Chains A and B, each alone.
Chain A
Amino acid sequence: MHLRTAALVALLGASPPSFAQTPQTGNVFNPNISAIGDFLASTGHNEVNPMPSLALHEAELGLQAIVDPYARGDFFFTFGTESGDVGVEEAYITFLNLPGEFLLKAGKLTGAFGKLNTQHLHTRLFADVPLPMQNLLGSEDGIDDSGISISHLIPAPAGIFLEGTAQLFRGTTENLFYAYTRSDVEPLFHLKGYGDLSESSNVEIGVSWTRGSNLQGPGFHTTLMGLDATFRWKPLRQGLYRSLIVQAEFYLSEQQMPGGTVRANGFYALAQYQLGRRWFAGYRYDQSEHADNASLRDRGNSVMVTFWPSEFSQIRAQWRQVRYELTTGTSPASELILQLQFSIGAHGAHAF
């Protein structure tokens, strides 16, 4: 053993092995690491979908880095308060330079269905999700599944950004889709158009479509269609102090059930206005039928105020009133939700 070491040293000459010289290279290639906490407190009355009084609703861990000259990798793990409440929210590779200017993603990713479905919790403007997402997209997490995604820029008149995305998922999403066999894959298509109206305002419009096997049993499908529209205003000179976002989404669900197909729809419309450098106020109206019973329609109203102590933390208060319709009658709810979000580390910037 000693002899072998001696031989090695002789082989290398006077200098020690190279790994001893560069102990830090491992850190250089570490990904950007970030953690974001979402803490919720709520009070008031809600018999249908109550939130806990106090909860670390979610902790998100992000690991992001360039994989190699061809691709980047993004991992987002989420942790809840209950034991075992751990999940891969997203984990995907993005090939940035494919021939034909395609952008290819593969892994677990959120479906490109409208706006809200692609947003992580901490980028949403309200503490909860609107009723149509809860009722028609399965849960507050929406369509989030293993699959592949390919997108391409579509030639358009000058200044118009037009992008088509086609995705293919395994076909299993909480409360929405279930792949009974390997052929129960879920295709999803999204078309996004964007244009600047001026240097301070712009409009984005999208249409989405997807179809998968639903939870009623093999052979039963749910088709979802979505329309989204967003208007943004931010005067560049006063951009630190003033901005406005108006956004609306409409979802249509066609769920095949043993008794026939249920067509249910829902929408939300929200506005957020920036009052000052760190203050934002917003209003949201939302309503949605139930995916399995279109004669029941829940309606909600919310107002919120958000304060950002810095770019890395935010405090939000939301007053939410909902009138749930149940087969047994209506159930009114009104709640005050307080949200505290805090972020550490290097979290990659989000797309628009």
Chain B
Amino acid sequence: MKKTLLLAAALLAFLAPAPARAARKLRIVTTLSDFASLAETVGGDRVEATSLAKGYQDPHFAEPKPSFILKLHDADLLIVAGLELEIGYLPPLLDQARNNAVHPTGKGYLDASVGCEILEKPTGQVTRAMGDVHPYGNPHYWLDPANGRVIARAIATKLADLDPDGKAVFGRNLAAFEARLAEAEARWARALAPYGGTKVVTYHSSWPNFAKYFKLDVVGYLEPKPGIPPTPHHKLEIINLMLEKKVPLILMEVYFDRKDPDFIASKTGAKVVMIPPSVGGVPEAKDYVSLFDFDVGAIVRALGGK
């Protein structure tokens, strides 16, 4: 009996996680590449961040690959978009990760939507007759630079909690990021100034925060309902709507098929602008600021500017 107990104790000691080394970088896993970019910007060389979804992939439909379980198992911090964006793949990964810290109640969990301006919160009854709606509001909120600032601040606070020695570094990095963002915001405002109120049609409803911030007017969607691909009848409706309202632009995410937008553009004379909604969606969108540089530049060029 004593022997068995000793053996069990030895086994437990062997299996218990090794104590964290002080010099080790904080390991951050994010669902979106945008959060990984912000975490690297704020964390500097005290962190290493990887994202589960790539910037050129539909963030609703990442898959629960077992290799992601390994990443979550080793993570000190998990940053999610929340609002049920990740509901299709993250819960089974967390259940198998064997890492209490990154569960929603753990100290290494950050829901980036907290404190951000969230649009399109449904009022009244929500049913799936509306398509794939998000009952807590539109989860594409990171496409508003003002929300990006909120997220960066939340990350700085969280990093300081997890790595108190780095607090001053995170504060400096955050201040540098905010200065760079403010400069960029002035640049984007100048570039888009002639095009305020431009009417656009978007493929999926990924752009409400983007449109609000950059003063674009979204008048319709290629998807008849969120998650339902364009039907012939709906395409006709959109063509008529675009002709009637003189819509010059179709905004689409890089992971959708160009065929339908190109067809509609050919019937309406509008231009198709295929832009990434996340960092890494195109090689030029290297970080959170250059993502908007690319997207704003593409829109300005499509509208005839430079």
Contact = CB atoms under 8 A, between A and B. Distances in A.
Interface of A: 69, 72, 94, 96-97, 99-103, 153, 159, 161, 163, 192, 194-196, 199, 202, 204, 234, 236-241, 277-278, 310-312, 344, 348-352
Nearest to A96: B95
Contacts of A163: 66
Contacts of A277: 229, 257
A96 B106 CA distance: 13
Contact of A312 (B57, B95, B128): B128
Contacts of B65: 194, 196, 202, 352
B12 interface: yes
Interface stretch (B85-93, B138-146, B171-179, B243-251): B85-93
B305 interface: no
Given A310-B227, A349-B89, A240 B98 contact: no
Contacts of B95: 72, 94, 96, 351
Interface stretch (B39-47, B67-75, B263-271, B295-303): B67-75
Interface of B: 11-12, 15-17, 54, 56-58, 61, 63-67, 69-70, 73, 87-92, 95-96, 98, 100, 103, 105, 128, 131-132, 227-229, 254-257
A239 B57 contact: yes
A101 B17 contact: yes
A103 B256 contact: no
The 4 closest A-B pairs by CB, nearest first: A100-B15, A161-B66, A236-B57, A101-B98
B229 A278 contact: yes
Nearest to B87: A349
Contacts of A159: 67, 70
A69 B105 CA distance: 9
A322 B103 CA distance: 48
A152 B103 CA distance: 19
Contacts, number: 98
Given A311-B227, A351-B64, 17 more contacts: A96-B95, A102-B98, A103-B98, A161-B70, A163-B66, A196-B67, A236-B255, A237-B254, A237-B255, A239-B58, A240-B58, A240-B61, A240-B257, A310-B128, A310-B132, A344-B128, A350-B92
Nearest to A152: B15
Contact of B64 (A101, A238, A312, A349): A349
15 contacts: A96-B103, A100-B15, A101-B98, A103-B96, A153-B69, A161-B70, A194-B66, A241-B257, A277-B257, A278-B229, A310-B228, A311-B227, A348-B92, A349-B87, A352-B63
A277 B230 CA distance: 11
Given A195-B67, A234-B63, A310 B256 contact: no
Contact of A351 (B96, B98, B256): B96
A352 B66 contact: yes
Contact of B67 (A153, A194, A238): A194
Contacts of B64: 349-352
Nearest to B255: A237
A192 B70 CA distance: 14
B293 to A, nearest CB: 21
Contacts of B228: 310
A159 B63 CA distance: 16
A96 B65 CA distance: 18
Nearest to A94: B95
A319 to B, nearest CB: 26
Given A99-B12, A310-B228, A237 B57 contact: yes
Nearest to B11: A100
Nearest to B67: A196
Contacts of A238: 255, 257
Nearest to A64: B91
A351 B57 CA distance: 20
Contacts of A101: 15, 17, 73, 98
A236 B61 CA distance: 10
Contact of B256 (A199, A240, A311): A240
A1 to B, nearest CB: 42
Contact of A153 (B73, B91, B229): B73
Contacts of B58: 239-240
A309 B57 CA distance: 21
B56 A237 contact: yes
A202 B69 CA distance: 14
Nearest to B105: A69
B42 to A, nearest CB: 26
Nearest to A159: B67
Contacts of A202: 65, 67
Contact of B66 (A100, A204, A311, A312): A204
B48 to A, nearest CB: 14
B57 A348 contact: no
A109 to B, nearest CB: 14
A263 B98 CA distance: 39
Of the candidates B12, B67, B254, the one having the most CB atoms from chain A within 10 angstroms of its own CB is B67
Contacts of B16: 99-100
B229 to A, nearest CB: 5
A283 to B, nearest CB: 23
B92 A351 contact: yes
Nearest to A344: B128
A72 to B, nearest CB: 7
Nearest to B104: A66
Nearest to A236: B57
Given A99-B12, A204-B66, A236 B54 contact: yes
B65 to A, nearest CB: 6
A241 B90 CA distance: 22
Nearest to A237: B56
